[in-house]
């Protein structure tokens, strides 16, 4: 018998400058419909959209470090949008709060109709928001290749 998951419950990001990250996520996550449910001196946690995102400070000996995407651990965090317009609104929100948009909204090859924006938090942690219409890579006749994206389907 397979265990069927029901989405992602939460992700907690460890940050080097808690105050800067708290300011960034405190402005951004509510725009995603996420509600702050804990806001303390060393932990910030928002819930919404069937998931939660938290931040906490790193250990003192790591405060001078920044996120490295190709290091072991998190590559990036991708949130699913309900429309292409939400992806565009995300890019605008990131720019408005002074965040870094790494890749402007564009269509990609990960799934038929894939549309996304890639951005960074103050530590350089990469986040993405994407919209995929219909069944995406689960559509009949679609297969996924990490190098080439989706193959087949309509």
Check which CATH number belongs to the domain holding 130 and give it: 3.10.180.10
Residue among 76, 118, 74, 85 nearest 99 (CA): 118
Positions in the chain whose pLDDT score sits under 50: 154
Q: What is the pLDDT of residue 6?
A: 84
Q: Where are the beta strands (DSSP E) in the chain?
A: 11-15, 35-39, 44-48, 51-57, 77-80, 100-107, 115-120, 126-131, 142-145, 149-152
Q: What is the pLDDT of residue 110?
A: 81
Please check whether residue 68 lies inside any domain of the structure.
yes
Please check whether residue 46 lies inside any domain of the structure.
yes
Please check whether residue 69 lies inside any domain of the structure.
yes
Please check whether residue 3 lies inside any domain of the structure.
no
Model confidence, pTM: 0.86
Please check whether residue 113 lies inside any domain of the structure.
yes
Number of domain units in the chain: 1
pLDDT tens-place string over residues 85-129: 999 999 999 999 999 999 999 998 888 889 999 999 999 999 999
Please check whether residue 19 lies inside any domain of the structure.
yes
DSSP letter for each residue of 51-79: EEEEEEEPPGGGTT----TTSSS---EEE
Q: How many CB atoms are located within 10 Å of the residue 67 CB?
A: 19
Domain assignment of residue 45, given as a range: 11-152
């Amino acid at each position: 018998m397979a265990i069927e998951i029901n989405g992602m419950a939460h992700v907690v990001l460890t940050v080097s400058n808690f105050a800067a990250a708290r300011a960034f996520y405190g402005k951004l996550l509510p725009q995603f419909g996420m509600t702050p449910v804990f806001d303390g001196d060393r932990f910030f946690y928002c819930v919404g959209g069937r998931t939660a995102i938290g931040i906490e400070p790193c250990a003192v000996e790591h405060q001078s470090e920044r996120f490295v995407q190709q290091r072991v651990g998190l590559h990036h965090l991708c949130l699913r949008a309900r429309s292409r317009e939400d992806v565009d609104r995300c890019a605008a929100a990131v720019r408005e709060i002074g965040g870094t948009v790494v890749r402007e909204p564009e269509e990609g090859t990960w799934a038929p109709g894939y549309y996304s924006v890639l951005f960074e938090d103050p530590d350089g942690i990469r986040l993405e928001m994407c919209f995929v219409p219909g069944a995406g890579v689960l559509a009949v006749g679609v297969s996924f290749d990490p190098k080439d994206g989706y193959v087949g389907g309509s």
